[in-house]
């Protein structure tokens, strides 16, 4: 397998493309130490990449958001630590195989995509675009045919070996589903079994992972189902979910295995509030050191056991996702002693 792109920093962007920021020697040295200790196992990234405020961290200067969305991924992948990305746009509408292939062609062989399955599959209710108000039941909720034909085949064919994780993020569920976990587990199991064949054939190293927005679902029965189906529990660090320490029992119940974490939103914040307060996401605004240290400890244990780790971070976690990635990466290793 090709080594992750987080250690490939030489070269320049083609003419007319978005150019990457120059990486500091310290950042390059940190990336090299991580690679030396855990070769090919660690995948760090952010939630999407289209933020002009990352100038100086990821981009060499400010670029329009539309240009970054369309052409910024190759520069993003040149950052010493960013060898993964959460493809959040796939949640809002299903992406075609050709779209996935276009993205895969822009990154090195060791780069991995964390793909959010579309809400068309993972939301139990229909919603207007841009609105959280439900419009009624979603007939496609965890539908096996939709899962296999529209979601897994497109992602696996388009991304191939660069598909790292396919995440089923269940949107907040209506009460009737929460009152009947057995029915939910049965439907989830059918969906997972439908996803398996195309992934096994086209992206055999890709993980399937489940992310929740309802803490009441964190039960031993769900852990048993995930373990039996080979689905990883996603540490979903989000205001709607318990703090990381309270989610570790679910993680332990499905261990050993690879780790998937999406650090989305600091507790006590709402998405729009964090966006408005912390834009343009050019620096850390509210560091969450307890979460970082606990996550780093779990990551070290997983990596030392020879398992892969996929962690992606949102700007709304601490104010600037690339800065959060750098701080988390530094927390994984002891500091180099001074003279």
pLDDT digits (tens, 9 = 90+) for 280-317: 999 999 999 999 999 999 999 999 999 999 999 999 99
Q: What pLDDT, on a 0 to 100 scale, did the predictor assign at position 127?
A: 80
3-state secondary structure of 129: coil
Rounded average pLDDT over 187-210: 97
Rounded average pLDDT over 29-55: 97
What distance in Å separates the CA atoms of residue 274 and residue 270, rounded to the nearest whole number?
Answer: 6
Rounded average pLDDT over 254-280: 91
Residue 217 reports pLDDT greater than 50 = yes
Q: pLDDT confidence of 318, banded at 50, 70, 90?
A: very high
What superfamily would CATH give domain 5-332? Protein of unknown function UPF0759 (3.20.20.410)
Backbone angles phi, psi at 295, to 5 degrees: -65, -45
The larger pLDDT score, comparing residue 271 to residue 299, is at 299
β-pair type (84-87, 112-116): parallel
Rounded average pLDDT over 37-59: 97
Q: What pLDDT, on a 0 to 100 scale, did the predictor assign at position 270?
A: 83
Cβ partners under 8 Å of residue 78, min gap 6:
5, 8, 9, 11, 13, 20
Q: What pLDDT, on a 0 to 100 scale, did the predictor assign at position 17?
A: 82
Residue 236 reports pLDDT greater than 60 = yes
* Total residue length of the chain: 339
pLDDT digits (tens, 9 = 90+) for 115-152: 999 999 999 998 876 566 777 899 999 999 999 999 99
25 alpha carbon, distance to own chain's centre: 27
Residue 7 reports pLDDT greater than 70 = no
Q: pLDDT confidence of 10, banded at 50, 70, 90?
A: very low
Backbone angles phi, psi at 212, to 5 degrees: -115, 160
Q: What pLDDT, on a 0 to 100 scale, did the predictor assign at position 337?
A: 59
Q: pLDDT confidence of 9, banded at 50, 70, 90?
A: very low
Residue 8 reports pLDDT greater than 50 = no
3-state secondary structure of 243: coil
Cα dihedral angle (232, 236, 242, 245), rounded to 10 degrees?
60
Q: What pLDDT, on a 0 to 100 scale, did the predictor assign at position 336?
A: 64
Q: What pLDDT, on a 0 to 100 scale, did the predictor assign at position 134?
A: 74
Q: What pLDDT, on a 0 to 100 scale, did the predictor assign at position 338?
A: 55
Q: pLDDT confidence of 267, banded at 50, 70, 90?
A: confident
Rounded average pLDDT over 318-326: 98
Q: What pLDDT, on a 0 to 100 scale, did the predictor assign at position 129?
A: 64
Q: What pLDDT, on a 0 to 100 scale, did the predictor assign at position 3?
A: 39
Question: In the structure, how many helices (H) and strands (E) does the chain have?
Answer: 16, 10
- Structure tokens, 60: 């060499």
Least confident window among 81-90, 213-222, 252-261, 329-338? 329-338
Rounded average pLDDT over 77-88: 97
20 alpha carbon, distance to own chain's centre: 22
Cβ partners under 8 Å of residue 314, min gap 6:
46, 47, 86, 262, 263, 264, 265, 321
**What's the whole-number average pLDDT of the chain?**
92
pLDDT digits (tens, 9 = 90+) for 163-182: 999 999 999 999 999 999 99
Task: Name the residue among 137, 143, 85 with its Cα closest to residue 115.
Answer: 85
């Amino acid at each position: 397998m090709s080594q992750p792109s987080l250690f490939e920093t030489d070269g320049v962007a083609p003419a007319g493309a978005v150019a990457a920021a120059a990486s500091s020697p310290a950042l390059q040295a940190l990336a090299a130490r991580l690679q030396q200790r855990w070769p090919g196992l660690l995948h760090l990234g952010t939630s999407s990449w289209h933020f002009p405020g990352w100038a100086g961290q990821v981009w060499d200067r400010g670029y329009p958001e539309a240009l970054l969305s369309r052409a910024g991924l190759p520069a993003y992948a040149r950052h010493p630590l960013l060898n993964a990305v959460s493809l959040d746009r796939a949640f809002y509408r299903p992406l075609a195989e050709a779209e996935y292939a276009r993205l895969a062609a822009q990154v090195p062989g060791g780069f991995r995509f964390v793909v959010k399955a579309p809400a068309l599959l993972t939301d139990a209710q229909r919603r207007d675009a841009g609105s959280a108000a439900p419009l009624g039941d979603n007939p496609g909720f965890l539908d096996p045919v939709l899962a296999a034909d529209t979601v897994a085949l497109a992602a696996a064919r388009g991304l191939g070996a660069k598909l790292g994780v396919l995440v089923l993020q269940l949107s907040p569920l209506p009460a009737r589903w929460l009152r009947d976990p057995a029915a939910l587990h049965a439907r989830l199991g059918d969906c997972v079994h439908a996803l398996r064949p195309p992934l096994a054939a086209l992206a055999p190293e890709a993980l399937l992972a489940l992310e929740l927005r309802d803490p009441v679902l964190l039960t031993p029965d769900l852990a048993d189902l995930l373990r039996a189906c080979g689905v990883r529990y996603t540490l979903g660090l989000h205001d709607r979910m318990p703090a990381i320490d309270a989610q570790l029992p679910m993680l332990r119940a499905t261990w050993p295995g690879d780790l998937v974490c999406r650090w989305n939103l600091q507790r006590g914040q709402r998405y729009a509030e964090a966006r408005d307060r912390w834009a343009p996401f050019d620096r850390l605004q509210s560091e969450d050191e307890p979460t970082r240290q606990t996550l780093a400890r779990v990551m070290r244990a997983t990596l030392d056991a020879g398992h892969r780790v996929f962690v992606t971070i949102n700007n709304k976690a601490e104010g600037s996702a690339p800065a959060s990635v750098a701080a988390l990466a530094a927390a994984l290793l002891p500091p180099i002693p001074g003279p």
